[in-house]
Chain A
Amino acid sequence: MIDVLVAVVWLVGAGFALLAAIGVLQLPDVFTRMQASTKASTLGIGCLLVGAALQLADVAGVVRAASIGAFVLLTSPVASHVIARAAYIAEVPLWKGTKLDERRRDARRDRGEFDGVESTP
């Protein structure tokens, strides 16, 4: 019974990890690719860890699996924010199909208030 559950959870986790990789390959710009890669570090790793905890089923195994989970949950949002911010500041182009960029609009407005003085982007 536990065996079947482990198998299902692992297949789901690996499936999401694979989808994340495909997304990173085929989505159009760095920001959308990042969205896909988040999938691997949430449901992907999450399912694999739950499966591993069920399979090991003892304190040492479960505690380590839980601490990996907690660690990934704490670090992955920080990592994706710093990459996104760095990419935006380095002016990596957004996909041409991007509908709206309100940060650019606000930056222009703020520069306008300072009347021609060029602020750092």
Chain B
Amino acid sequence: MSEFVTPIVLVMLAVAILIALVRLLAGPSLPDRVVAMDLIGVLTVGLIVVIAAATEYRALLDAAIVIALVGFVATVAYARFVEREGES
């Protein structure tokens, strides 16, 4: 069952990342891009979690934790930047 479903789930998540990438490129404002980047980070964590569970390779979960951490710090840093520089 899960051998059958895993590829479908992975494709759905990959498509979601592609759609978020369109928003990242389109903008129009900097905060829009930050929202898109944040979403891409969350989706990547989900993707890695699914791969880790499907392949039973638990060390990948640590990679997911690191990506979540870096994504959060990056988002907060960008938000500070937007607040200081104004919209551009």
In the complex, A touching B (Cβ < 8 A): yes
Knowing A61-B58, A83-B34, the reply to whether A17 touches B65 (Cβ < 8 A) is no
Does the CB pair B9–A33 fall under 8 Å? no
Report how far A41 CA is from B75 CA in the complex, Å: 14
Distance to closest chain A CB from B75 (angstroms)? 4
The 8 A CB mask of B28-65 against A (1 = contact, 0 = none) is 01111011101100110110011011101010011011
Whether A82 contacts B61 in the complex (CB less than 8 A), given A44-B42, A52-B53, A68-B68, comes out as: no
Q: Which residues of A contact B72 (CB under 8 A)?
A: 75, 78-79
Most buried by A among B5, B39, B83: B39
| Complex contact A21–B16 (CB within 8 A) | yes
Q: Chain A interface: which size bin?
A: 35 or more
Residue from A13, A14, A41 whose CB has the most chain B CB atoms within 10 Å: A14
Interface residues of B in 1-35 (CB under 8 A from A): 1-2, 4-6, 8-9, 12-13, 15-17, 19-20, 22-23, 29-32, 34-35
Also in contact, A11 and B5, with CB within 8 A (given A65-B61, A91-B87, A92-B31): yes
Chain B positions within 8 Å of A, measured between CB atoms, are 1-2, 4-6, 8-9, 12-13, 15-17, 19-20, 22-23, 29-32, 34-36, 38-39, 42-43, 45-46, 49-50, 52-54, 56, 58, 61-62, 64-65, 68-69, 72, 75-76, 78-80, 82-83, 85-87
Further contacts, 20 of them, CB under 8 A, given A61-B61, A79-B79:
A3-B2, A7-B4, A10-B9, A14-B9, A17-B42, A21-B39, A21-B43, A30-B31, A40-B16, A40-B46, A41-B42, A44-B42, A44-B46, A45-B46, A48-B49, A48-B50, A52-B50, A64-B58, A86-B82, A90-B85
